[in-house]
Amino acid sequence: MKLYERLAREIEDLIAQGVFRHGDRIPSVRQASQHRQISITTVLHAYMLLESKGIIESRPQSGYFVRLPASMGGNTGGKIETELRTSEPIAVSAQVDVSRLVLSTLRSIGSGSAIPLGSPYPDPKLFPSDKISRYGSAIVRRKSQWGVTDELPPGNPELIRQITRRYLENGEPVDPNEIVVTVGATEALNLCLQAVAKPGDTVAVESPTYYAMLHAIERMGMRAIEVATHPSEGIDLGALSSILDTTRIAACMVMPNFQNPLGFQMPEEKKRELVELLARHHVPLIESDVYHELYFGESHPRSLKSFDTHGLVLHCASFSKSLTSAYRIGWAMAGRFHEQVEKLKFLNTLTTPSIPQLAIAEYLKNDGYEHHLRRVRKVYAQQANLMTATVKRFFPEGTRTSHPMGGYVLWVELPPAVDSMRLYQLALDNGITIGPGYMFSAANSYRNFIRLNYSYTWSPEIEGALITLGKLVAACMAVSRA
């Protein structure tokens, strides 16, 4: 039995013996850590285990309290609401103008030594960067006598072969002739959107949506229409169907697996229904699947591409979130739009650097990519639980969180009185970065939301930053009431 499981069992036994009764406050995380000479992380793991069983509950700014399940004679009512609700954006198309906000925010996040809770990037310490760099250096030395040339579209044949094999290992056979290697998934998204829509067109997106999709729409002079999205099941198919019946939609852009910022995994049947719905309306579906390898469950999630029988799904992915963010290598599989995407790749950037492609191909061929991924998934799953529990413990009542099924970001709804841009500035003043909700909508729909990154190794500094952030949220609420 692990240390946190032993602690959880001891507390459960004390509750069963009547030492702690329904409604009693159990020792705080810090008290339990000090009295038992164990780490705060271990105590949090134990308390999360008890909370998952419904035996205790966290109350913001108060601590953990006994909450006996019905099977033990307890009252299961009165739990503080922490579940996110389905978004309800105004269903009108809007001109997109979020790039300046995102740029200024990312500059702040990327500068100095602030704690990177707002970073969009995974912790590079978990990646085998040195090993991939050694492959790159060896390739440069080997090719120096002939000169190193970049790869014309579709990309390096060996990398394409390794990507194809990876899909096959995950139970999704793909056509290698459909793969076009790109400079990260962002270029893949831009190429795919450019292939299916033109300036002035309207594109449907989830709400909230990842700002890279809004950037692509803004860059090409298009309009975005935000569709209601369930926090654990994804885009509302009923709402999307109504929009398709009344509005000309040039394309739909979604993230079905571990969506940024909500973290959900769309149920398989809903994925099928989404693909079929858009096929009936002859609307191309652009899928960003950059987090598909970072699942917390037992099996690899299926892509929208795997349900496509009409060639209307344009699938985009990359290695930036799962293997290395230093080498920006992504790819697109664009179905019936393949030739157009390949042509646009050539017209836009001509080539993709060959050394990163070859280095990643060598790693995929020779090293334990799956072993690396299992380690990363385990770390992310643990840290997602730790961050969620800490937010519930230290943020004011009325705070709600997403429940990520993969990836490395947590979406947090704060009480309505809190403005995330004001909180963003206060957090920066305290050496902490956050992602303000304004970045995830073209219509400023998420004023009191923030996105947090849990990929960085859990530490007293991370925990302290979250506790400070909770106090800043409370301070914002106090100012608004004054």
- pLDDT, tens only, 207-235: 999 999 999 999 999 999 999 999 999 99
Nearest Cα residue to 384 out of 262, 300, 270, 470: 262
Backbone phi, psi, residue 338, to 5°: -55, -50
CA distance 223 to 248: 11
Give the residue-averaged pLDDT of 410-420: 96
**Bridge partners for 253 per DSSP:** 205, 286
Q: Compute the chain's Rg from CA coordinates.
A: 24
What 8-state DSSP symbol labels residue 258? Answer: S
Backbone phi, psi, residue 172, to 5°: -130, 85
pLDDT of residue 82: 53
Element (DSSP H or E) covering residue 451: strand 449-453
Peptide bond into 154 cis (omega under 30): yes
8 A C-beta contact, residue 218 and residue 97: yes
Strand, coil or helix: what is 263? Answer: coil
pLDDT band at 78 (very low <50, low <70, confident <90, very high): very low
Fold of 3-72: Arc Repressor Mutant, subunit A (1.10.10)
pLDDT digits (tens, 9 = 90+) for 343-388: 999 999 988 999 999 999 999 999 889 999 999 999 999 999 899 9
pLDDT of residue 37: 87
pLDDT of residue 479: 84
Q: Which two structure tokens, joined as six digits, stand for 235?
A: 């885009």
Rounded to 10°, the helix 40-52/3-16 angle is 50
Q: Which two structure tokens, joined as six digits, stand for 149?
A: 């040339």
Beta strand extents in 82-209 (DSSP E only): 93-95, 179-182, 202-207
CA distance 465 to 471: 10
8 A C-beta contact, residue 396 and residue 473: yes
Strand, coil or helix: what is 65? Answer: strand
CA distance 195 to 53: 49
8 A C-beta contact, residue 270 and residue 237: yes
Q: Is the pTM value of this prediction over 0.95?
A: no
Give the residue-averaged pLDDT of 385-396: 92
Q: How far is CA 245 from CA 8, 140, 198, 240, 282, in A?
A: 53, 55, 21, 9, 12
pLDDT digits (tens, 9 = 90+) for 231-270: 999 999 999 999 999 999 999 999 999 999 999 999 999 9
Per-range mean pLDDT, top range of 37-41, 87-91, 193-197: 193-197
Strand, coil or helix: what is 300? Answer: coil
Strand, coil or helix: what is 77? Answer: coil
pLDDT of residue 75: 40
Give the residue-averaged pLDDT of 157-174: 95
With vertex at residue 150, the alpha carbon angle to CA 148 and CA 156, rounded to the nearest 5 degrees, is 110
Backbone phi, psi, residue 170, to 5°: -90, 10
**How are beta strands 435-436 and 251-254 bridged, if at all?**
unpaired
CA distance 38 to 387: 19
Q: Which two structure tokens, joined as six digits, stand for 441?
A: 């909508």
Q: Which two structure tokens, joined as six digits, stand for 418?
A: 């809190």
Q: What is the mean pLDDT of the chain?
A: 90
With vertex at residue 261, the alpha carbon angle to CA 258 and CA 264, rounded to the nearest 5 degrees, is 30
52: left (phi over 0), alpha (psi -120 to 50) or beta: alpha
Give the residue-averaged pLDDT of 26-48: 88
Q: Which two structure tokens, joined as six digits, stand for 215?
A: 């950037």
CA distance 472 to 429: 11
Q: Where are the alpha helices (DSSP H) in 414-459?
A: 420-429
8 A C-beta contact, residue 117 and residue 432: yes
Residue linked to tokens 């209601």 = 228
CA distance 120 to 454: 10
pLDDT digits (tens, 9 = 90+) for 54-73: 788 887 667 888 875 544 44
| DSSP secondary structure of 330-394 | EEEE-GGGHHHHHHHHHHHHS-B-HHHHHHHHHHHHHS-HHHHHHHHHHHHHHHHHHHHHHHHHH
Fold of 97-123+374-481: Aspartate Aminotransferase, domain 1 (3.90.1150)
H helices, E strands: number in the chain? 15, 15
What are the domain boundaries of the chain? 3-72, 97-123+374-481, 125-369
Structure-derived torsion over alpha carbons of residues 221, 225, 229, 235, reported in degrees to the nearest 10: -80
What is the CATH code for 125-369?
Answer: 3.40.640.10
CA distance 187 to 225: 22
